Amino acid sequence: MSNAAKLDVLGVGNAIVDVLAETDDAFLVAEGIAKGGMTLIDTARANALYSRMPAGIEASGGSAANTMAGIASLGGKGAYIGKVANDQLGEVFAHDIRAIGVDYRTNPLIGGEPTARCLILITPDAQRSMNTFLGASSYLGEADLDAELIRSAQITYLEGYLFDRPEAKAAFFAAARIAHDAGRKVALTLSDTFCVARHHAEFTQLLSHVDILFANEGEAGELTGEKDFDASVTALTGKCPIVCVTHGPRGSVIAANGQTHRIAAAPVEHVVDTTGAGDLYAAGVLYGITAGLDLAEAGRIGSLAAAEVISHVGPRPQRSLKALIS
């Protein structure tokens, strides 16, 4: 039996500031950018692409951090672990996540690479194509894990994007161990099809330490090798107690305890920017689970949170999600 948890969810991920700009398909083609995907870029490419992309706005992002913003907006208690540099964008990231009520205390990287930036190009069809310069964020390691924080959260939520460095991989396994030793749950989002392809074996290995899995249809297919959506969900069900797979405008499926819940997408009048859709879906589901709601209701909250974030530019909620779901 575990003690009562002080926190609902602890997120662990890449601490990133987004640069969002509207562009057209021709720009993506000219720059060789895969539409709708996430590409890792180095300093030189980041500078070159930034010099050619349109004027933008800057907003705190990062997948798990966006999820934590959603949980806070829903009224949940959260904390976040992720690494920025001691620079202006790092201050922006730290300010924003604290200002929404998320406990954030990770030491910034000193004298190294700058805070991570994601250059996000939004096309008129509301698709976002992400170009991520990981910078300081990928220097997160085991030393940054606050074991007391992990033990105090009902769920520790890990962002698959972090898997691109061995130190972060090791930190994930360590975090899962600390959480389970304290009788807590571990959740994981697969984050990106290419990330799954790059680290297939390790993701499969980590999955045996995961209680709640988030994936979209592409990631689920990549991890299981199944081409059919339902077949990939079934395959994942055998590996993880609770499996949540999103399916774009068709909604999502949550499978657990031999039951499959099909969740409809919430209606959106005008889809503006899909950045953060999956992150906010996860926020709703995790909030629902920690609030003791059943999985169908948790899924409904996930759909509502995702619908809010895709109706405006930017990866975090602009309205109170707590007010929206009540």
Q: Does 192 bind a second copy (CB under 8 A)?
A: no
Q: Does 314 bind a second copy (CB under 8 A)?
A: yes
Quick check: 160 and 203 in contact, CB under 8 A?
A: yes
Q: Does 95 bind a second copy (CB under 8 A)?
A: yes
Q: Does 100 bind a second copy (CB under 8 A)?
A: yes
- The nearer residue to a second copy, 61 or 218, going by C-beta atoms, is 61
Q: Residue from 1, 26, 44, 51 that binds a second copy (CB under 8 A)?
A: 51
- The nearer residue to a second copy, 93 or 157, going by C-beta atoms, is 93
Cα gap 255→214, rounded to integer Å: 11
Work out how close the CB of 54 gets to a second copy at its nearest, in angstroms, rounded to a whole number: 5
Q: Does 249 bind a second copy (CB under 8 A)?
A: no
Residues contacting a second copy: total by CB under 8 A: 26
| CA 269 and chain centroid, separation | 24
Cα gap 102→80, rounded to integer Å: 7
Length of the chain: 326
Q: Does 26 bind a second copy (CB under 8 A)?
A: no
Cα gap 219→310, rounded to integer Å: 20
Q: Does 166 bind a second copy (CB under 8 A)?
A: no
The contact pattern for a second copy, residues 265-304, with x = CB under 8 A and - = no contact, is ----------------------------------------
In 100-152 the beta strands, taken as DSSP E runs, fall at 103-104, 116-122, 128-133
Q: Which stretch binds a second copy (CB under 8 A): 95-103, 121-129, 144-152, 239-247?
A: 95-103
Q: Does 320 bind a second copy (CB under 8 A)?
A: no
The contact pattern for a second copy, residues 55-94, with x = CB under 8 A and - = no contact, is xxxxxx--------x-----------------xxx--x--
- The nearer residue to a second copy, 47 or 259, going by C-beta atoms, is 47
Report phi then psi at 176, rounded to 5: -65, -40
In 134-251 the beta strands, taken as DSSP E runs, fall at 153-159, 185-189, 212-216, 242-246
187 has which bridge partners? 157, 212
- The nearer residue to a second copy, 117 or 300, going by C-beta atoms, is 117
Residue 243: closest CA among 265, 266, 224: 224
Sheet architecture: strand order including 185-189: 103-104, 78-81, 7-12, 153-159, 185-189, 212-216, 242-246, 252-256, 259-263
Q: Does 99 bind a second copy (CB under 8 A)?
A: yes
Helix (H) or strand (E) holding 253: strand 252-256
Q: Tokens for 286?
A: 């995790």
Work out how close the CB of 283 gets to a second copy at its nearest, in angstroms, rounded to a whole number: 15
The residue ranges that bind a second copy (CB under 8 A) are 19, 21, 50-51, 53-60, 69, 87-89, 92, 95-97, 99-100, 114-115, 314, 316
